[in-house]
A and B are shown apart, each in its own frame.
Chain A
Amino acid sequence: MIQKKICMIGAFAVGKTSLVERFVTSLFSEKYHTTIGVKIDKKLIHVRDCDMSMILWDLYGEDEFQKIRASYLRGAAGYLLVADGTRAETLTKAVALQKFTEETLGKTPFALLINKCDLVNEREIDRNDLETCRQNGWRVIETSAKTGEAIEDAFLTLAADMLECDANTQ
């Protein structure tokens, strides 16, 4: 069985931990419990006739208190870049982190998740900005850890992209 390391990257409180928890246990909690350091989780999936053990690295959100260590990214086969749809500044942060990650890892499959899409009324991230990202070849998926919307889709799409990436490099 192939094993893949996937990093959750994004500003603090965008829902990285919630996304993983939703994906792994199907649970969701409204309570914010910030992550310090790294939280490791595993999930077995079946994608493209292939069993995959996903090692999910839920990295702490970056802010002035904690900076992401480049060493944590090492060996990642893919990453999910997470932004909070109700906080426009988290998209800016995601863009910066994407740049940092790519510098560290080289070209690696990833997807941009615009999380908390259930909070329609508080929406702050402009659809036009997302369009720009898509035009740059990014995969953009609007998710909600709260409702579960597009969670499976996000992880499985990334897994598929990683497999494709493997196939291309071989």
Chain B
Amino acid sequence: MRRQHAIDDSVLANLMTAMDLVVMERQRNAGSFRILNETPRWLQQLYPDVGSRLDTVQPGKIVPFLENFLIDAECFWDQRTETRLKSGAWSEGTRSDAESHLEATAMIVNGRNLLVIERLGAEFQSQHTVLQRAREHDLKFTKTVKKNERALANVGTQLQKSQAARDDLASMIDHLGLAAIITDMNGTITFISEPARTLLGLGRDGIIGTHWMNVSALEHRAQEALQAMIRQPQHRRTSVEVNVLTSDGKRSWIAIEIRDDPRETQRRMLVLRDVTEIHALRQMLNEKFTFHDLIGKSQPMQTVYQRLKDLAMVDTTVLIEGETGTGKELVAKAIHFSSKRKDHPFLAVNCAGLTDALLGSHLFGHRRGAFTGAIANHQGFFEAASGGTLLLDEIGDMPMTVQTSVLRVLQEKEILRLGDSKPRKVDVRVLAATHQNLNELVASEKFRADLLYRIRVARVHVPALRERREDIPPLVSSFLSQCCAATGKTVENVDPQAMRKLVAYPWPGNVRELRSAIEYSVIHAKTSGICDADLPPEIIESNPPDTTSSDTPLDEKRIVIAALEQTGGNRAAAARSLGIGRATFYRRLSALGIS
């Protein structure tokens, strides 16, 4: 028993050392302890004052933490109520990975008061890891919660702010009369301005939340056009004009511009404009002021347009008369392209300056070997224009022999190729144009009377440019843009002085001459505007507007007559009432032909 105890003592001592434990027994004199096993190296390293002496140590003097713990330990040993008292972990020194964590335990074994100092190992580390994780998690969690709360609070105030800003903006939009709709990514309306409601004939409520396509009865085609436009990237989008049947039963034209919200590309802003009026005007303009490639809003041109529309309905031969350069070929084209023959060829042949054989061959074609150089069978204009329209320009210059053949074609509706004996059926509408007086040519026996009657079934007179001077500005601007496109120059306008000259010039060469004058001026222009000096010399040198001409505004005559009527024919009083001198007034009177 004794032997075994001795063995146990040393074995246990080694075991305790191996387990990083130091066991001390409390001595009689307070604060002194005797180390029962070997002093481990780590303890000596940590507390060099401990020394290697096995007899007495005073840990409370060396280790401040133990000094504190021993106070509790003394009570524990005195009271003997519990089996042991733990100090809790402590460590020495500043933070380091090689840190030692220790714990002291006071216990009573076999009536002996023991103090055990333990170096905490793996178990402590895992406990630390768990606690570390728990705390980090806690920190992160509260941080997130707070961030969310802050964000929420932020959103709240921002919402309030933006609500206010939005209200301001909305009323501003209303005041500006801006018809606007904002939709979310699904096309659902999230905002609609008052003017937009009015435009679409909507009531005050119930639109937010509906799909914008369903707001008004859009035609299927319009819906498709809008969908296609949405698919385009923003920079390629143009406004789409749609015919809308508003919920209050009105039909209007609305131009819809689709924009992406710059902050949220899935969101759309639709800007609506009422273009009903513009649409009507444009339609009027289209109908009245231009006709195919013809430009002009003057009364004479209106008459021409009306006549052309009528002639497009029928299939007769038409004689187009007009000075050189008035645009007779354009008139012919206008007839063709507004007629039912428009999908078939339009051909024009100039009858002037060709020998009869050559013109005949051009018009009717020839058989191989019909004449020297006729190396192959050849189709003529009549056949080439099959189903369409053939313009015989300068028909007054057509040789007599060809006139006879043409007359035959018009009567028989068939042609005979030169050198051929077999006639061929042709279906061609013939239009003829001339700047000459065919009656006079008939009288001088240069034109067949029967052909004249045949082609003069219908007539169109194309007015000279000087008969429609008000069309000069629109013609000028049209030629300007065509010319700029062709030359690559950017000449945008004509200064007033130059325009006055252009309008006043007599234009013997008519529209053709005007066109080349503009081409000339564009080439000579040094700035983005045509000025006086850029015009062709004959126009620069032309006389300034002659007020005595028949072009004098009717208004002036009317004003003068009105002044005379008011003064009972008293010329001096009339002059005074008009604020001009008597001599001037007399001159005006004679100029205006008022006696």
Q: Could you tell me which A residues sit within 8 Å of B by CB distance?
A: 5, 12-13, 17, 20-21, 24-25, 27, 29, 32-34, 36-41, 55, 61, 63, 65-66, 69, 71-72, 74-75, 87, 89, 124
Interface centre among A37, A38, A61, A72 (most CB of B within 10 A): A37
Measured in the bound complex, the distance between the Cα atoms of B65 and A39 in whole Å is: 9
CB proximity to A under 8 Å, residues B70-116: 71-72, 88-95, 101, 103
Measured in the bound complex, the distance between the Cα atoms of B103 and A29 in whole Å is: 26
Measured in the bound complex, the distance between the Cα atoms of B138 and A32 in whole Å is: 13
Cβ–Cβ contact B135 & A63, under 8 A: yes
A34-B128, A37-B101 known; A29 and B95 CB under 8 Å?
Answer: yes
Can you list 25 residue pairs at the A/B interface with Cβ under 8 Å?
A: A5-B64, A12-B135, A12-B138, A21-B95, A25-B94, A32-B132, A32-B136, A33-B132, A34-B131, A34-B132, A36-B89, A36-B128, A37-B88, A38-B90, A39-B90, A39-B91, A40-B90, A40-B92, A41-B93, A41-B94, A61-B135, A65-B131, A72-B68, A74-B68, A74-B71
Cβ–Cβ contact B95 & A34, under 8 A: no
With beta carbons under 8 angstroms apart, the residue of B91, B135, B142 that contacts A37 is B91
With beta carbons under 8 angstroms apart, the residue of B65, B139, B146 that contacts A40 is B65
Q: How far is the CB of B489 from chain A (nearest CB, A)?
A: 60
Cβ–Cβ contact A40 & B91, under 8 A: yes
Cβ–Cβ contact B95 & A36, under 8 A: no
Measured in the bound complex, the distance between the Cα atoms of B102 and A38 in whole Å is: 10
Closest partner residue, chain A, to B90 (CB atom)? A38
Cβ–Cβ contact B65 & A38, under 8 A: yes
Closest partner residue, chain B, to A75 (CB atom)? B68
Measured between beta carbons, the chain A residues less than 8 angstroms from B68 are 71-72, 74-75
Q: A-B pairs with the 8 shortest C-beta distances? A: A37-B89, A38-B90, A34-B132, A39-B91, A37-B88, A55-B64, A37-B90, A34-B135
Measured between beta carbons, the chain B residues less than 8 angstroms from A87 are 142
Cβ–Cβ contact A17 & B65, under 8 A: no
Measured in the bound complex, the distance between the Cα atoms of B131 and A25 in whole Å is: 26
Measured in the bound complex, the distance between the Cα atoms of B134 and A63 in whole Å is: 11
Q: Could you tell me which B residues sit within 8 Å of A by CB distance?
A: 64-65, 68-69, 71-72, 88-95, 101, 103, 124, 127-128, 131-132, 134-136, 138-139, 142, 146
Cβ–Cβ contact B131 & A38, under 8 A: no
Q: How far is the CB of B340 from chain A (nearest CB, A)?
A: 80
Measured between beta carbons, the chain B residues less than 8 angstroms from A38 are 65, 88-91
Measured in the bound complex, the distance between the Cα atoms of B103 and A55 in whole Å is: 19
**Chain B residues touching A, majority SS:** helix
Cβ–Cβ contact A13 & B89, under 8 A: no
Measured between beta carbons, the chain B residues less than 8 angstroms from A89 are 142
Measured between beta carbons, the chain B residues less than 8 angstroms from A21 are 94-95
Measured in the bound complex, the distance between the Cα atoms of B68 and A29 in whole Å is: 30
Measured in the bound complex, the distance between the Cα atoms of B100 and A36 in whole Å is: 12
Cβ–Cβ contact A36 & B64, under 8 A: no
Q: How far is the CB of A86 from chain B (nearest CB, A)?
A: 9
A41-B93, A74-B68 known; A36 and B127 CB under 8 Å?
Answer: yes
Measured between beta carbons, the chain A residues less than 8 angstroms from B139 are 13, 32
Cβ–Cβ contact A33 & B95, under 8 A: yes
Q: How far is the CB of B60 from chain A (nearest CB, A)?
A: 12
Measured between beta carbons, the chain B residues less than 8 angstroms from A29 are 95
Cβ–Cβ contact B94 & A40, under 8 A: no
Q: How far is the CB of B123 from chain A (nearest CB, A)?
A: 12
Closest partner residue, chain A, to B91 (CB atom)? A39
Measured between beta carbons, the chain B residues less than 8 angstroms from A74 are 68, 71
Cβ–Cβ contact B132 & A65, under 8 A: no
Measured between beta carbons, the chain B residues less than 8 angstroms from A34 are 128, 131-132, 135
Measured in the bound complex, the distance between the Cα atoms of B271 and A97 in whole Å is: 64
Measured in the bound complex, the distance between the Cα atoms of B93 and A20 in whole Å is: 10
Measured in the bound complex, the distance between the Cα atoms of B71 and A69 in whole Å is: 14
Other A-B contacts than A13-B135, A41-B94, 7 sampled, CB-CB below 8 A, are: A34-B135, A36-B127, A38-B89, A40-B65, A61-B135, A65-B134, A74-B71
Cβ–Cβ contact B91 & A17, under 8 A: no
Cβ–Cβ contact B88 & A69, under 8 A: yes
Interface centre among B92, B135, B136 (most CB of A within 10 A): B135
Measured in the bound complex, the distance between the Cα atoms of B146 and A124 in whole Å is: 10
Cβ–Cβ contact A24 & B132, under 8 A: no
Measured in the bound complex, the distance between the Cα atoms of B71 and A12 in whole Å is: 27
Measured in the bound complex, the distance between the Cα atoms of B137 and A12 in whole Å is: 12
Q: How far is the CB of B218 from chain A (nearest CB, A)?
A: 52
Measured in the bound complex, the distance between the Cα atoms of B99 and A39 in whole Å is: 10
Closest partner residue, chain A, to B64 (CB atom)? A55
Measured between beta carbons, the chain A residues less than 8 angstroms from B89 are 36-38
Cβ–Cβ contact A71 & B72, under 8 A: yes
Measured in the bound complex, the distance between the Cα atoms of B89 and A39 in whole Å is: 9
Interface centre among B91, B128, B132, B136 (most CB of A within 10 A): B91
Measured in the bound complex, the distance between the Cα atoms of B65 and A72 in whole Å is: 8
Measured between beta carbons, the chain A residues less than 8 angstroms from B101 are 36-37
Measured in the bound complex, the distance between the Cα atoms of B134 and A75 in whole Å is: 31
Measured between beta carbons, the chain A residues less than 8 angstroms from B146 are 124
Measured in the bound complex, the distance between the Cα atoms of B94 and A38 in whole Å is: 11
Q: How far is the CB of A20 from chain B (nearest CB, A)?
A: 7
Q: How far is the CB of A67 from chain B (nearest CB, A)?
A: 11
Measured in the bound complex, the distance between the Cα atoms of B146 and A20 in whole Å is: 28
Closest partner residue, chain A, to B92 (CB atom)? A40
Measured between beta carbons, the chain B residues less than 8 angstroms from A37 are 88-91, 101, 103
Measured between beta carbons, the chain A residues less than 8 angstroms from B124 are 36
Measured in the bound complex, the distance between the Cα atoms of B65 and A5 in whole Å is: 10
Q: How far is the CB of A89 from chain B (nearest CB, A)?
A: 8
Measured between beta carbons, the chain B residues less than 8 angstroms from A25 are 94
Measured between beta carbons, the chain B residues less than 8 angstroms from A5 are 64
Measured in the bound complex, the distance between the Cα atoms of B65 and A55 in whole Å is: 10
Measured in the bound complex, the distance between the Cα atoms of B97 and A29 in whole Å is: 13
Measured in the bound complex, the distance between the Cα atoms of B132 and A32 in whole Å is: 8
Closest partner residue, chain A, to B136 (CB atom)? A32
Closest partner residue, chain B, to A32 (CB atom)? B136
Cβ–Cβ contact B64 & A40, under 8 A: yes
Cβ–Cβ contact B94 & A36, under 8 A: no
Measured between beta carbons, the chain A residues less than 8 angstroms from B64 are 5, 40, 55
Q: How far is the CB of A40 from chain B (nearest CB, A)?
A: 5
Measured between beta carbons, the chain A residues less than 8 angstroms from B88 are 37-38, 69, 72
Closest partner residue, chain A, to B65 (CB atom)? A40
Cβ–Cβ contact B95 & A17, under 8 A: yes
Measured in the bound complex, the distance between the Cα atoms of B139 and A34 in whole Å is: 12
Measured between beta carbons, the chain B residues less than 8 angstroms from A33 are 95, 132
Closest partner residue, chain A, to B124 (CB atom)? A36
Closest partner residue, chain A, to B127 (CB atom)? A36
Measured between beta carbons, the chain B residues less than 8 angstroms from A69 are 88
Interface centre among B65, B101, B136 (most CB of A within 10 A): B65
Measured between beta carbons, the chain B residues less than 8 angstroms from A27 are 94
Cβ–Cβ contact B90 & A20, under 8 A: no
Q: How far is the CB of B145 from chain A (nearest CB, A)?
A: 11
Cβ–Cβ contact A24 & B90, under 8 A: no
